[in-house]
C-alpha cells in the first residue's frame, strides 16, 4: 500500500513530468470546466450539454469489453422523477460461483458536473470491476447548483436503499453478488459524498437493512475544505493541474446551502462537526502528494483516527488530483491493487450452512 505518512510541510520537489498526451488531456479538461462554470456559481448547461454530455459521454455497452477484463455495462433507473439512475459494470460471467462484492461509486466533478456516462468515469469503473474484482454500481446523483446540499447525499443514500430492497436489476443471476460486502467509493466530490452517505447509512439505515451492509469505504482524494487557506492550497496554486482556488470556491458556492460559508459541516469535517455513527465503516483514504486538497484530506484522516475509526492511508507522493483516472500512470494501477487488498480484507465472511 502507498506510504502512510503524517501531513507536514510542503514538498520542495518539482511536480512530476507528465506525458505530453496526458498534459493535453488535462488542459482540455480544465478548459471545459472553466468554460461552463460561471462566476455567479451557476453552470452554463447549454454549453455543458455540448462539451460534456455530447463530446465526453459514452453509452453503456452490454457486450463484454475484452480490453478491460471482459467487462459489460448497462443502466437502470432508480427514480425517473428526479433523474436518479445508475450504470452497472459487471463481468461477462462469474469467474467462480462465489458471490462478488459490490462497489457503489460516486463520480467527481465538484458536485456540479459530469455523470457515470462521462468517459473518464466510465473507464475508471470498468477498471474497478476488472482489477478490483467487484460489481460496480455508479450512481447518477443530482447536480448543483440546481440541486444543492443535501440532494447528492439524499440520492446516494436512496441508491443504497434501492439496492437493499431490489438487488441489482439486469444481472439476471448470472453474476451472483454479495450485498453484505458493499463498499462505497468515489473521488473528489464523490469522496465527500462517500463520507456523508456512509455516515448516514450507518446511523439510520444499517440497523434495519435487509441485505446491504456497508463493509468499507474508499474516498479517493476526497473534496473537503473550509474558510482557511491551507499550506498545500497556497503552495500548489498554479502548480498542480485540475484543482485551483477559483474552481474549488466555485464548487462550494454552487453546492452548499445559500449563504453558507465553507466551514459548513458538509465541507469542513472537524472534531466539532463530524458526528460519526458507532457503525461507521472502515476507510481507506487515497491522498496524492501534488493535490492542493491534501491538507484537508490528512485532517480528515486525523479526525477518523481520533474518533476511534479504522482508517488506512494510501499515499502517492507524485500524484495530482484525479490521477487514478489515467491508466497510463503507474500509480493509477497501484491504487487499484491497494483497493483490491482493502476489499478482500474487509468483506463479509462467507455464510455458514
Which one is catalytic: 147, 195, 268, 321?
A: 321
Phi, psi (5° rounding) for residue 252? -65, -40
Burial 187-225 (b: 16+ CB within 10 A, else e): bbbbbbbbbbbbbbbbeebbeebeebbbbbbbbbbbbbb
CATH code assigned at 341: 3.40.50.1820
Whether residue 352 lies inside any domain: the answer is no
**Confidence band, pLDDT 50/70/90 cuts, at residue 16:** confident
Per-residue model confidence as pLDDT tens digits over 155-173: 999 999 999 999 999 987 7
Which one is catalytic: 138, 188, 248, 251?
A: 188
331 is catalytic: no
Q: Which of 69-73, 96-100, 296-300 holds the top average pLDDT?
A: 296-300
Whether the Cβ atoms of residue 212 and residue 348 lie closer than 8 Å to each other: no
Whether residue 37 lies inside any domain: the answer is yes
295 is catalytic: no
The DSSP secondary-structure symbol of 208 reads G
Per-residue model confidence as pLDDT tens digits over 182-191: 999 999 999 9
How much is the average pLDDT of 110-115?
A: 98
Sequence-ordered strand ranges (E) for 141-269: 177-187, 214-220
Q: pLDDT value at position 94?
A: 66
In whole angstroms, give the CA distance from residue 83 to residue 71: 25
How much is the average pLDDT of 188-210?
A: 98
In whole angstroms, give the CA distance from residue 78 to residue 159: 7
Q: Among 112-116, 123-127, 330-334, 348-352, where is mean pLDDT lowest?
A: 348-352
Whether residue 215 lies inside any domain: the answer is yes
Whether residue 159 lies inside any domain: the answer is yes
Sequence-ordered strand ranges (E) for 23-166: 71-79, 84-91, 100-106, 135-140
Whether residue 21 lies inside any domain: the answer is no
In whole angstroms, give the CA distance from residue 195 to residue 208: 20
Which one is catalytic: 291, 295, 331, 338?
A: 291
How much is the average pLDDT of 265-272?
A: 92
**Assigned C-alpha cell, 329:** 500512470
Q: pLDDT value at position 349?
A: 83
**Assigned C-alpha cell, 233:** 492550497
Task: Please state the domain count of the chain.
Answer: 1
251 is catalytic: no
Whether residue 53 lies inside any domain: the answer is yes
Whether the Cβ atoms of residue 181 and residue 348 lie closer than 8 Å to each other: yes
More confident residue, 236 or 349: 236
Helix, strand, coil percentages for the chain (3-state, nearest 5)? 35, 20, 40
Which residues form the domain of 83? 33-346
Whether residue 16 lies inside any domain: the answer is no
Q: pLDDT value at position 103?
A: 98
Whether the Cβ atoms of residue 220 and residue 335 lie closer than 8 Å to each other: yes
**Confidence band, pLDDT 50/70/90 cuts, at residue 6:** very low
Whether residue 9 lies inside any domain: the answer is no
Give the percent of the chain with pLDDT over 90.
86
Q: pLDDT value at position 12?
A: 55
Average pLDDT over the chain reads 93
In whole angstroms, give the CA distance from residue 110 to residue 49: 17
Neighbours of 267 (CB within 10 A): 23
Among candidate residues 76, 87, 75, the one with its CA nearest the CA of residue 139: 87
| pLDDT of 118 strictly over 60 | yes
Residue carrying the nine cell digits 474497478: 128
Amino acid at each position: 500500500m502507498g506510504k502512510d505518512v503524517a501531513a507536514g510541510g510542503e514538498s520542495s520537489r518539482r511536480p512530476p513530468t507528465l506525458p505530453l498526451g496526458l498534459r493535453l488531456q488535462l488542459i482540455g479538461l480544465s478548459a471545459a470546466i472553466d468554460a461552463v462554470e460561471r462566476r455567479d456559481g451557476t453552470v452554463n448547461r447549454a454549453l455543458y450539454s455540448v462539451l460534456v454530455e455530447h463530446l465526453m459521454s459514452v453509452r453503456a455497452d452490454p457486450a463484454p469489453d475484452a480490453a478491460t477484463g471482459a467487462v459489460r455495462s448497462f443502466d437502470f433507473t432508480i427514480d425517473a422523477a428526479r433523474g436518479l439512475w445508475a450504470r452497472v459494470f459487471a463481468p461477462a460471467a462469474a469467474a467462480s460461483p462465489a458471490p462478488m462484492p459490490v462497489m457503489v461509486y460516486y463520480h467527481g466533478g465538484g458536485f456540479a458536473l459530469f455523470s457515470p456516462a462521462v468517459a473518464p468515469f466510465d473507464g475508471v469503473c470498468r477498471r474497478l470491476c476488472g482489477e478490483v474484482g467487484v460489481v460496480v454500481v455508479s450512481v447518477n446523483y443530482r447536480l448543483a447548483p440546481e440541486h444543492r446540499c443535501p440532494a447528492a447525499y439524499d440520492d446516494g443514500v436512496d441508491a443504497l436503499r434501492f439496492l437493499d430492497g431490489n438487488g441489482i436489476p439486469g444481472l439476471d443471476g448470472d453474476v451472483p453478488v454479495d450485498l453484505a460486502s458493499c463498499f462505497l467509493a468515489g473521488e473528489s466530490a464523490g469522496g465527500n459524498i462517500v463520507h456523508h452517505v456512509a455516515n448516514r447509512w450507518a446511523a439510520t439505515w444499517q440497523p434495519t437493512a435487509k441485505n446491504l451492509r456497508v463493509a468499507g469505504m474508499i474516498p479517493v482524494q476526497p473534496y473537503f475544505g473550509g474558510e482557511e487557506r491551507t499550506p498545500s492550497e497556497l503552495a500548489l496554486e498554479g502548480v498542480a493541474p485540475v484543482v485551483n482556488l477559483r474552481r474549488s470556491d466555485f464548487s462550494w458556492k454552487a453546492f452548499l446551502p445559500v449563504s453558507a460559508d465553507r466551514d459548513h459541516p458538509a465541507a469542513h469535517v472537524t472534531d466539532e462537526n463530524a458526528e460519526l455513527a458507532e457503525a461507521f465503516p472502515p476507510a481507506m483514504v487515497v491522498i496524492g502528494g501534488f493535490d492542493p486538497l491534501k491538507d484537508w484530506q490528512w485532517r480528515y484522516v486525523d479526525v477518523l483516527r481520533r474518533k476511534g475509526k479504522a482508517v488506512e492511508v494510501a499515499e502517492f507522493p507524485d500524484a495530482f488530483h484525479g490521477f487514478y483516472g489515467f491508466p497510463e500512470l503507474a500509480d493509477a494501477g497501484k491504487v487499484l491493487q491497494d483497493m483490491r487488498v482493502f476489499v478482500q480484507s474487509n468483506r463479509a465472511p462467507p455464510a455458514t450452512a
